Amino acid sequence: MIETRAKQILDFLTTDYKFHTSEDIGKSVGLSSKSAQKEINTLNSIICDEGAIIKSEPGKGYQFKITNNSTFKSFLKTDWYKYAYYHHESGNKKLRIESIIKLMLFSNSYLKQQELADMYYVSHSQINKDIKEVRDILRNYNLKLISKPYYGMKVVGEEKNIRLALRHEIGEDPNLFRNDEDELLFNTIQEVINGIEFPQTFYMPYANFKNLVVHIYISILRISEGKYVKVPEELSTRVISYEEFSMANLIVAKLSSQLDLDFPKDEILYLTMHMITKNSVTNYEKVSPEISEIAQQMIDEVYDVTKYDFRSNIDLFFALSLHLGPLIERIRYGLNMKNPILDDIKENQVAFMLATIAVQPVNKRLKTKLSDDEIGYIALHIASAMDYNVGIKRNILVVCGSGNSSAQMMKSQLERKYKDQIENLTLTNLSRLKLYKLDNFDFIVSSVDIKEKTTTPIVYVDVIFKQRDFENIDNIFNRQTLNEIDKLFSNSIFLKDIDVDSIDQTINILADYAFKKSKLEKNYLIDQFKKREELGPTAYINVAIPHILDKYSKESFCIILIPKNKISWGEVNVNLVISIFFGNDLNFESKFLDNLGRFLNNAELIEKSTKSNNIEEFKNIFLES
């Protein structure tokens, strides 16, 4: 029987009954810190009425406490098995499906549905439903689950795809081990890899080290069963030319002597391919001009579609350039890298949305479609860049009475505090003011009274700024952004209590209203929405943000849709849909998206916004974030 996460966490916490951080707990069961916290909350809900509790303290972590010894002992004897092992219908469905996939992938013989039903103590109809999900998951790896009368079911497909499914669906989870011998093999591989001194040109962080160990472990299990990977001739010539080929031979030589196992040449080539795709480039000088060009195209694509401006962010450019090398090799070799923290990354919906736009040049240039896992890694770089993005930059006119020294003093004070928010500072005095078109500036900072008529806001200050002067300048920066966000919402569409329950229905409604607003063809809009969803669902938790991928050249607007009932959107149900069309008329998108990011991370505001009766109410709640 397979242990659940709940049992693994309980076992870890009760080894010493001391405080442990979520990071430590996560590492012990192969989860991220946030995922571990969710599992701890689930376990707490199980045991809180059964004589035990997991208490948490800031700075210390989590500690297991028995509050009623007799009650807890009784629970362990009578009911704990329901939650500790995955073996019957009331168990965790996700774990059951993982277990069935593992069983199918490792099995060389046919399995009958009734055998599975008996094994997991579930009904035949429940196994039928599970098998349907298993088929869908296997299809992602170009694998089929075939049926043969009187024999049962069996997985068929290319060996490399079976291994890919094993690595991604089972991973380095303890469930990967079928017995103690498997665990011993895994540990032996780790020791061998640890003992090899790789050249400095091969950079292997911890995550890549674990990936390599899992890759070799699965390969050895399959080789021992007579299952081999075939590498096409046209690839083998290219692969042999890499430095990683000699490293792969070194690894194989050490493992062969220790395990008394022969590795065919194709298996060494396959290991080399894996190492090439995992070797993280750390020196920008090794990045090719082609890769640099793609990195710039990614940044330009984000700006062209959303106006979020990373074009001067050299750190993001370098980060993308360094990331793209191994990514392109993975695409060429048909490999994929599982992203263990994808769910956590998707919580930053804005960064993930921008990443799906950023990867379009990669998809077009290499004629591929990047997976959510790969997009997630791009989203990490974008999220980091967003933290340092300053948003809108302003063109400011500085006006003084007459002396140049006064203007220079005002300029230096503005640059000292607002340097990253200023596009251009123009200095002038009152006598030369008529030479400028005042309406062309975002705002004016002046130490003297200005008589000329202008629609441009004016902030009056002392030559040496007082605290109130800085506050007034802060207000003008913020007010202009709010005015532009207000302009977007005033041009938007608000739909309440819409009777819709599927993605396709929602897309059809969005396309209807967007067609009337934008005059873009409805079929084109539907196609754009669907292409985006094919990259991965745009919903997370209870909000969907479907959007088109192409540039939109007219006036920006949103469609806010609040359905009558929750909409089934991929694996989640949503009660709010925000579809954004970024045009060329506004210059605030980065601030708007920053605000959207904060809004999407505030469950209370999201719930409150679904009670809105009009666009004005929705906007006010949105701005609370």
Instruction: Estimate to the nearest angstrom the gap between the alpha carbon of 524 and the chain centroid.
Output: 27
Alpha helices in 519-577 (DSSP H): 522-534
The band of 260, judged by pLDDT with boundaries at 50, 70 and 90, is: confident
Helix, strand, or coil (residue 408): helix
CB within 8 A of 430, min separation 6: which ones?
A: 399, 400, 401, 402, 448, 450
Give the residues across from 459 on adjacent strands: 445
Please report where in the chains the tokens 């990867």 appear, as a residue: 359
Q: What is the DSSP letter of 303?
A: H
What kind and span of H or E run contains 625? none
Q: What confidence tens digit (pLDDT) does each residue in 486-531 have? A: 888 888 999 999 999 899 999 999 999 999 998 899 999 999 999 8
pLDDT, residue 390, reads 53
SS (H, E, C) 395-428: EEEEEECCCHHHHHHHHHHHHHHHHHHEEEEEEE
Mean pLDDT of the chain: 84
8 A C-beta contact, residue 430 and residue 399: yes
List C-alpha distances in Å: 577 to 106, 520, 550, 558. 42, 20, 20, 10
Instruction: Work out the burial of residue 403: count CB atoms within 10 Å of its CB; fewer than 13 is exposed, 13-18 middle, 19 or more buried.
Output: exposed
Q: What six digits make up the tokens of 305? A: 């579609």
Handedness of CA 398, 403, 404, 409 (dihedral sign): negative
* Confidence band for 482, pLDDT divided at 50, 70 and 90: confident
Query: pLDDT of 25-58, one tens digit each?
Result: 988 887 778 778 878 988 888 898 889 999 988 8
How many angstroms separate the CA atoms of 495 and 602, rounded? 21
CA–CA separation, 470 vs 190, rounded Å? 59
Looking at residue 232, its pLDDT comes to: 81
| Three-class SS state of 496 | strand
Write the pLDDT tens digit of every residue in 348-385.
888 898 999 999 999 988 888 888 889 999 998 998 88
Residue 543's nearest CA partner among 563, 529, 517 is: 563
Coil, strand or helix at 2? strand
Tell me the three state secondary structure of residue 497.
strand
State which amino acid sits at residue 153.
M
Residue-level length of the chain: 625
The per-residue pLDDT for 54 is 93
**Secondary structure letter of residue 262 according to DSSP:** P
The per-residue pLDDT for 90 is 39
Cα separation values, 512 from 133, 146, 527, 558, 577, Å: 33, 42, 13, 13, 15
Model pLDDT, residue 613: 94
- Residue 608: the pLDDT is 92
Please determine, for residue 420, whether its predicted confidence score (pLDDT) is greater than 70. yes
271 closest CA partner among 287, 256, 291? 256
Give the ranges where 148-242 is alpha helix by DSSP (H). Answer: 159-169, 180-194, 206-224, 233-240
Q: What is the largest CA-CA distance in the chain?
A: 98
User: What per-residue confidence (pLDDT) applies to 277?
Assistant: 75
Query: What's the whole-model pTM score?
Result: 0.56
Write phi, then psi, for 53 (nearest 5 degrees).
-155, 150
Beta bridge partners of residue 310, listed in sequence order: none
Pairing outcome for strands 543-544 and 576-581: parallel
Task: Answer yes or no: is pLDDT of 451 > 50.
Answer: yes
What is the distance between the alpha carbons of residues 42 and 29, in angstroms, rounded to a whole number? 15
374, 337 Cβ separation under 8 angstroms: yes
d(CA 523, CA 368): 23
pLDDT of residue 205: 64
**pLDDT at 281 (0 to 100):** 53
| Those residues with Cβ within 8 angstroms of residue 444's Cβ, 6 or more apart along the chain or in another chain | 396, 397, 398, 399, 438, 450, 454, 456, 457, 458, 459
pLDDT surpassing 50 at residue 89: no
Domains of the chain: 2-86 (1.10.10.10), 93-169 (1.10.10.10), 174-278 (1.10.1790), 292-385 (1.10.1790.10), 394-477 (3.40.50.2300), 491-623 (3.40.930.10)
Tokens of 258: 């220790």
**What is the predicted pLDDT for the residue at 617?**
92
Q: Are 297 and 290 in contact (CB under 8 A)?
A: no
Q: pLDDT class for 575, splitting at 50, 70, 90?
A: very high
Q: How far apart are CA 4 and CA 23, in angstroms?
A: 19
Res. 226 pLDDT band, cuts 50 70 90? confident
Greater confidence, 573 or 589?
A: 573
* Closest of 173, 172, 101 to residue 141, by C-alpha: 101
Q: Is the pLDDT of residue 286 over 60?
A: no
Percent of the chain with pLDDT over 70: 90
* Rounded distance between C-alpha atoms, residue 570 and residue 537, angstroms: 6
Distance, CA of 148 to CA of 100 (rounded, Å):
18
Distance CA 599, CA 591 (A): 12
